Amino acid sequence: MNDYIKLLKDQDKLNISIDKTKTFNWEYTKIAGPCSVEGPDIIDIAKNIKSLGANAFRAGAYKPCTYPILQEKNGWKEGLRDEGLKLLQQVKKETGLPIVTEVMDASMIDEVGAVADVFQIGTRNFQNYTLLDALGKCNTPILLKRGTWGTIDEILGACERILVGGNDNIAICLRGVVGMPSYRHVFPSTRWAPDLMMIPALKELTNIPIIYDPSHSTGYRNFVKPISRAAMAAGADGLIIESHPRPEESISDPDQAINYETLREIFNG
C-alpha cells in the first residue's frame, strides 16, 4: 500500500459516507444518450431512451474531443454549446430525466449548472485542480471520469480534492485507460483498454459509487454489451452508455454508439 493511500486510510478518509441516493441516485444508475447534442431531435431521442429503461440522460453540449484539432460540422463546434444546453433544458422539461452533461471549466459552472443535474468531468480534466476545487464548493452531483492515465491513488486524490471542499455527492466513472490493445490493428477504433479490475480495487478501498463507461473504454459498438455485463458483474453501481438512433451517423464517437435495440438488451436483459 503506498503512502498516500495509507494516509487516507489512517485518517479514515476512504470510508466516506456517501449517501448514494441523496440528491442523485447512483444505485443501479442507467445513464444513456448520444455522445453530444446534435439538434432538436434530441427531445425525441431522450423520450426513446427513457422508454428503453434509462433513468438519466447524457449528452454533451460542450464537447471536448481527445484529438486537439477543433472539430466542426454544420454549426456543431465541439458541441452546440449554449444552444445545446437550451435543448437539454427542453429534454428535462419533457421527459423529467435528470441531465448529465460536461462542465469543462470552473468559469462555466453557473451556465452549465442551470441545466445539469449531474456535472460530468471529462477525462482531460481529471486533474484540473482549479475545476475540482470549484466543484467542491457547489452542490451539484459530480461524475468524475478517470483520466486515461490515472493511477488508483490519483483517482482517490482527485475525489478527495472535491470532497474536502464540501461536495460529497460524487461518483467515479471508469472509462478505459491508455494502453496498447493488441487487437487495435484489427479494430482501429479501440483507442483505450477497459479498466474493469479497477472496480473491485476501488470497492476494496472506498464506498464512492463506481459508474462504468463501456462506450469510451471499448470504442467499438460490438464490445459495449459484453463489457457492460462484465462491469456490472464486477460490482459497478451503474453504467453510462452512448446510444444514437443512427449510430454510424453520430457527429462524435460514431464507432462506439449503440442502437436502441442493443441498449434495451443491456438495460432490460
CB 131, min distance to ligand PEP, A? 13
# chain residues binding ligand PEP, by CB under 6 A: 7
Of 26-55, binders to Mn ion (CB under 5 A) are: 35
Residue 81 contact, options ligand PEP, Mn ion, none, Cβ 5-8 Å cut-off depending on partner type: none
Of 160-189, binders to Mn ion (CB under 5 A) are: none
Does residue 123 interact with ligand PEP by CB under 6 A?
Answer: yes
Contact characters 187-206, ligand PEP, x per CB under 6 A:
--------------------
The C-alpha atoms of residue 11 and residue 68 are separated, in whole angstroms, by 40
Residue 237 contact, options ligand PEP, Mn ion, none, Cβ 5-8 Å cut-off depending on partner type: none
Considering beta carbons, is residue 38 or 253 the nearer one to Mn ion?
Answer: 253
Does residue 35 interact with ligand PEP by CB under 6 A?
Answer: yes
Contact characters 140-169, ligand PEP, x per CB under 6 A:
-----x------------------------
Contact characters 245-264, Mn ion, x per CB under 5 A:
--------x-----------
Residue nearest to Mn ion (CB): 35
Considering beta carbons, is residue 138 or 174 the nearer one to ligand PEP?
Answer: 174
CB 60, min distance to ligand PEP, A? 5
Residue 123 contact, options Mn ion, ligand PEP, none, Cβ 5-8 Å cut-off depending on partner type: ligand PEP
HEC string for the chain: CCHHHHHHHHCCCCCCCCCCCCCCCCCCEEEEECCECCCCCHHHHHHHHHHCCCCEEECECCCCCCCCCCCEECCEECCCCHHHHHHHHHHHHHHCCCEEEECCCHHHHHHHHCCCCEEEECHHHCCCHHHHHHHHCCCCCEEEECCCCCCHHHHHHHHHHHHCCCCCCEEEEECCECCCCCCCCCCCCCCCECCCCHHHHHHHHCCCCEEECHHHHHCCHHHHHHHHHHHHHCCCCEEEEEECCCHHHCCCCCCCCECHHHHHHHHHC
Considering beta carbons, is residue 14 or 35 the nearer one to Mn ion?
Answer: 35
Q: Cell numbers 460490482 correspond to what residue?
A: 235
Residues that bind Mn ion (CB under 5 A): 35, 253
